[in-house]
Amino acid sequence: MQFRAEHIRRTAIIEGERGEPLDIGRKTRSIPPVLRRALNSRDRGCRFPGCPNKRYVDGHHIRHWAACGETKLSNLVTLYRFHHRQVHEGNVIVRVLDDGALRIDQQTAISRWLGERMDYDVAIETLLFQARRARGVSAETR
C-alpha cells in the first residue's frame, strides 16, 4: 500500500518520566485513558474550592478546546459535573495564574448598574407594587 505525504498525519505526544502521554495537543478533544489516569492522580477529585466529590467528575479544558486549548495535563482540571456545568454556563471561571496555580472564581451576582443616580420614586413605587401584588391587591383598587 502506498501513501502520499499529504495522507500521513503526525501527532507529537509528550510523555511523562514513565512514558505516559501527558500532552496530545489539539489532535482530539476527548481525554485518552492514560491522560485521564494522570489527571485523576493529580487532582484526586473536584478542584472546586470546598467540594468533596471524587465521583461523577469530568475533565475540563481550562482553555476551551474550541478556542485552541490543548488536551494536555496542564490545561485540564477535574470538576464535579455540577461545577463543570456552572463553568460552561459562565457562573464559574477557571484560570491558571502566572505561577501555575489554579484559580477558581464563582460569579455570585452580575450587576447591570451603570453608575447612574438612583430614582427613588421609581424604586419606592416598584416596592409598593410588589407588596400590593403579594397581598393580592390590584393596582386599580389602591
Mean pLDDT lowest among 4-13, 37-46, 85-94: 4-13
CA dist., res. 12 & res. 21, Å (int): 10
Overall pTM surpassing 0.85 (yes/no): no
Which of the four pLDDT bands, split at 50, 70 and 90, describes residue 3? very low
Give the mean model confidence (pLDDT) for residues 50-59: 94
Q: What is the pLDDT of residues 115-140, one digit of tens each?
A: 778 788 888 999 999 999 888 865 55
Give the mean model confidence (pLDDT) for residues 3-32: 59
Dihedrals phi, psi of 94, to nearest 5 degrees: -110, 130
- Three-state SS annotation for the chain: CCCCHHHCCCCCCEECCCCCEEECCCCCCCCCHHHHHHHHHHHCCCCCCCCCCCCCEEEEECCCHHHCCCCEHHHEEEEEHHHHHHHHCCCEEEEECCCCCEEEEECCCCCCCCCCCCCHHHHHHHHHHHHHHHHCCCHHHC
Judged against a pLDDT cut of 50, whether residue 4 lies above it is answered with no
Give the mean model confidence (pLDDT) for residues 48-56: 93
For the chain, what is the mean pLDDT?
A: 80
- Cβ distance 79 to 58 under 8 Å? yes
More confident residue, 68 or 125: 125
